Structure 1
């Protein structure tokens, strides 16, 4: 298995699935930055640690698969399928994340994440089920 994919799997399996925040330095360089999780706001390792903890509190057990993975030079791109359930209601949760990461020395130094946050929060019951359709029609969520 290519090393970049192994690193990405460790990122998801150890950090997101198992909640092992001590794995962060193994997969992310000390100066690594991630974008896209909350718009264009960059996250450093401390911010990322808080984010993982908050998201994991919302979800039950997490399963991750990688239907598409492409590597080129220092870059890896992957479509990541995430399945879980709401920790509050037990309702199923199924979202996709598009990751594009740049690697140096076996660690990720730049992570661009395009997770479907709107769908995630709809499935968690934190947004109306048809939030996207409501907003596309020009209406506001109240």
Structure 2
């Protein structure tokens, strides 16, 4: 399986099929995926993160918009299409990941996800939060 195919399998298994056991199958035990939060996320932390996200949304599709594969490295930009569990409203999240694959597992991962816009869509942040912050307005009381 190529690095790109393995990454597609990762997103489809973990997020669309909600097969959280795929985390252990496709991550090395000592990985610390960077960029999701302020520290490296290992398999157990990632499972908690995935459970928290999947308690909010049902992911229907993750589309790879751009793909680059070079040796054991793969980089993609993606769009995740989902609906909220609360009211089935459509939401989407965009991001990118650069990952290194070795022995059929993800051994390094560097992520960037637009959580700000995603949390706005869920109703946890006001619309245009980034613009408000850039103008000097606060978004919290």
TM tier relative to shorter chain: over 0.9
Give 2:24's aligned residue.
25
The count of aligned residue pairs is: 140
Give 2:46's aligned residue.
48
Unaligned runs of 5+ in 2: none
Give 1:115's aligned residue.
113
The normalised TM-score by structure 2 is 0.93
The normalised TM-score by structure 1 is 0.92
Encode CA deviations 1:10-30: one digit per residue, 9 max, x unaligned: 111111111111111221111
Q: 2:29–2:43: 8 Å Cα contact kept in structure 1?
A: yes
Higher strand proportion (structure 1 or 2): 1
- The two structures, once aligned, show a CA RMSD in angstroms of 1.3
Could you say what secondary structure the match of 1:70 adopts?
A: strand
Could you say what secondary structure the match of 2:55 adopts?
A: helix
Structure 1 runs (4+) deviating above 2 angstroms are none
Encode CA deviations 1:66-112: one digit per residue, 9 max, x unaligned: 12110112210001111111211322112211010012212111111
Give 1:84's aligned residue.
82
